[in-house]
Amino acid sequence: MTTNKQFCKIFIFFGISLSFLLNADQQLEVLEVKTSSSYEISKNLPGELLPFQQSKIAFEITGRILSISADIGDKVKKGDLLAQLDDSEINASLEQALARLDLANQVLKRFEDLRKKGYISIQDYDEAKSEYLVAKSQVKFFEVKKSQTVLRAPYDGFIQNRFVDEGTVINGSNPILEILDANKVEAHVSIPENLITNLVMLNDYTFQIGQKTVFGKLKRLAPMAASGSNSRLAIFELNDFFIPGSLIDLIIKINRNEKGIWLPINSLSQSEQGLWSVYTVSNDGFNTVEKDIVQIIHFENNYAFVSGTLKDGDLVILGGLSKIIEGQTL
């Protein structure tokens, strides 16, 4: 019986692929297997993308909305004008305060001169100085109030919601717009307690968004599980920006130190008591089909990591009992 040797590209743990001619129409494929000291588990954990920052912004004072310069879907830069209140009343108060300050300043200068000449008492001078300081503080007060009639973007972002229209009279607590961060997003993933020890703070991890692979750094981990849950929330900062609300999968690779062999699933046949059997071709010169018992440790796609009586160099038959019977000579 002749054999046709070729390299197996199906799985990195397999050795040489061989084929035996059963008859004129059918060849039997076998694989020379190799023992591995460990295997890797890949876990996909679903999560959600959320904005790094999300704010409902409002004016600090009561007033009537004069204009709104941004709407849902708009992209804004930090410092951009978003909305403005009617500031006519504050402007009038500011002008009065400025006039009062000017008068108080003139009075104080005269009193300083008179005080030097001894024409007025220290008390009169102190009262003029106090009046000047009060007027100055009033100007600052109304300047601050005027600045509060303007609403600006706190950071680069997208407008997510608009809550009021122009002409509305609002209190300081009424939100005007909602803005989402346009530079960073976070992935929020619920991690089972038995996988927490595999995470390292500030390490980079692999994520899948649709067909795209991206990376994110573990930034925060909830100190305890949510009520009634055996999972903890992990928050990752992604290297790239994606639209918040998208679904994402965290891919965790876990290495297990356990001896075994990788086999294609189609080489396994179910046996008794939860065990499985594989069929091999002996190296005794007669090419006899023999049966080995194995236990499946881990599944990965179309392959299984098994332990049992197999050893390095054994030739495992692909297709199992569907191709041969035990004791058959090839």
* Residue at 250 is within a domain: yes
pLDDT of residue 117: 83
Give the separation between CA 39 and CA 299, rounded to whole angstroms. Answer: 10
Does residue 199 sit in the same domain as residue 311?
A: no
Lowest mean pLDDT among 58-67, 284-293, 296-305: 284-293
Among 45-54, 150-159, 200-209, 225-234, the range scoring the smallest mean pLDDT is: 225-234
- 185-189, 281-285, 302-306: least confidently modelled range: 281-285
Whether residue 327 lies inside any domain: the answer is no
Pair (48, 61) in one structural domain: no
Q: What is the CATH number of the domain that holds 118?
A: 2.40.50.100
Q: Could you list the residue range(s) of the whole structural domain that residue 212 is in?
A: 44-53+182-256
66 is a domain residue: yes
Give domain status of residue 328, yes or no. Answer: no
Question: How sure is the predictor about 275, in pLDDT bands with cuts at 50, 70 and 90?
Answer: confident
Residue 211 counted as domain residue? yes
Provide the 8-state DSSP code for 36.
B
Half-sphere exposure of 210 (CA within 13 A, CB side): 4
What does the pLDDT read at residue 3? 36
Say what the pLDDT of residue 17 is. 47
Contact residues for 114 (Cβ-Cβ < 8 A; gap 6+): 120, 125
Structure tokens at 217: 């750094």
State whether 82 and 168 are in the same domain: yes
Chain length of the chain? 330
Residues 231 and 271 in one domain: no
pLDDT confidence of residue 46: 94
Is residue 312, in this structure, part of any structural domain at all?
Answer: yes
Distance CA 7, CA 225 (A): 50
The overall average pLDDT reported for the chain is: 85
Residue with tokens 């007025």, as numbered in its chain: 120
Q: Is the pLDDT of residue 13 over 90?
A: no
Asked if residue 210 and residue 195 are part of one domain, the reply reads yes
Residues 244 and 173 in one domain: no
SS3 132: helix
- In this predicted structure, the answer to whether residue 290 has a pLDDT above a threshold of 90 is no
Share of the chain above pLDDT 70, in %: 87
Domain assignment of residue 329, yes or no: no
Chosen domain end from 160, 181, 202 = 181
Number of domains the chain contains: 3
121-135, 143-157, 245-259, 315-329: segment of lowest average pLDDT: 315-329
Which pLDDT value is given to residue 102?
96
**Tokens (6 digits) for 290:** 């023999």
102 and 165 in a single domain? The answer is yes
CATH classification at residue 270:
2.40.420.20
- Domain termination site, one of 240, 256, 272: 256
The mean per-residue pLDDT over the stretch 190-206 comes to 90
In a domain, 330, yes or no: no
Are residue 122 and residue 157 in the same domain, yes or no? yes
List pLDDT tens digits, range 117-172. 888 888 998 999 999 999 999 999 999 999 999 999 999 999 999 999 999 999 87
Do residues 107 and 177 share a domain? Answer: yes
Report how far residue 294's alpha carbon sits from residue 306's, in angstroms, rounded to the nearest whole number: 6
Within this chain, do residues 90 and 194 fall inside the same structural domain, yes or no?
no
What is the mean predicted confidence (pLDDT) over 80-84? 97
170, 96: one domain: yes
